[in-house]
Amino acid sequence: MSVSRLQKLEGHILPENKSTTMASPLTTHVLNTALGIPASNMALSLSRQDPCTKDWTTITTGATNDDGRCPGLITKELFTPGVYRLHFETAQYWASTGDTSFYPYVEIVFTINDPGVKYHVPLLLSRFSYSTYRGS
Amino acid sequence: MAASNPLTTHVLNTGDGIPAAKMAISLHRLNSELMIWNMLSVGTTNEDGRCPGLISPEAFTSGMYKLRFETGSYWESLGQTSFYPYVEVVFTITEPQQRFHIPLLMSRFSYSTYRGS
């Protein structure tokens, strides 16, 4: 088999961890620190702010999986420099466990200057506290 | 009887281990009929990172509130960049006769908040 034919075939084979798009350059991870478990089935959304109008445009809506993660938040092509917002439906999450919460939702607004690097924006959450940081 | 100073905050610069002084903050309440935020007060943290007098006991009713911290401007005034242009903490008050302390512990690349006392 020729090298070029082999390379063409390789291009058709997706690596095990590849979904329909490459891994998102922006990831999150929601942890229920009160119980020490991932916060699964939490609805969330990612939006970008228009620098001129300051209006927000929703890019993705989704929910966390069993591990508290939400793959595929954004594609590399769409991930341009700008101000982004992750919105987490935290009260809804606590209500689903039969609890109330101090925070109806959590929004984390952050600035992306270099979309060529990976950004990890986790949320560590209890009913009466939360924290976030730029991770890896 | 309503608590005097029913809502307080305290902003700490955990990157440098000091109170975050001279940070602009504002308090808003959600008008749930119109679904818009009404600004109730604006202020600046003092040398101890606190901002007394955010709201009077009479004005402090049940509802959804938002504390907005101008963290980006704060770090800029120190000649530094920050990951967060601002921080907004949205919370629900169902028992306004109680006291609520909402600190913000923040660095250039992280922050945390909790319901304190």
Asked if residue A99 lies in contact with residue A110, where contact means CB atoms within 8 angstroms, the answer is no
Average pLDDT over residues B56-68: 97
Model confidence over A30-67: pLDDT tens digits?
A: 999 999 999 999 999 999 999 999 999 999 999 999 99
Closest CA to B45 of B19, B66, B17, B68: B19
CA quadruple B30, B66, B71, B108: dihedral, nearest 10 = -130
From B46's Cα to the closest Cα of chain A, the distance in A is 24
Which among A103, A105, A109 has the least Cβ separation from residue B86? A109
DSSP 3-state assignment of A100? coil
State pTM to two decimals. 0.90
| 136 residues of chain A, pLDDT tens digit each | 666 676 666 555 544 444 444 789 999 999 999 999 999 999 999 999 999 999 999 999 999 999 999 999 999 999 999 999 999 999 999 999 999 999 999 999 999 999 999 999 999 999 999 999 999 8
DSSP 3-state assignment of A104? coil
Searching chain B, which residue's CA lies closest to the CA of residue A108?
B87
Positive or negative: CA dihedral B13, A79, A38, A92 = positive
Chain B residues with CB under 8 Å of A132 CB are: 110-112
Asked if residue B111 lies in contact with residue A131, where contact means CB atoms within 8 angstroms, the answer is yes
So what's the pLDDT on residue B103?
A: 98
- Distance, in Å, from the CA atom of A69 to the CA atom of A28, rounded to the nearest integer, reads 6
Q: Is B112 on the interface with A (CB under 8 A)?
A: yes
ipTM of the complex: 0.96
From A110's Cα to the closest Cα of chain B, the distance in A is 4
Binding-face residues of A in 81-110 toward B, CB within 8 A = 83, 91, 101-110
Q: Which of B93, B113, B117 would you mutate first to test chain A, the one with the most A CBs within 10 A?
A: B113
Residue B50: DSSP 8-state = B
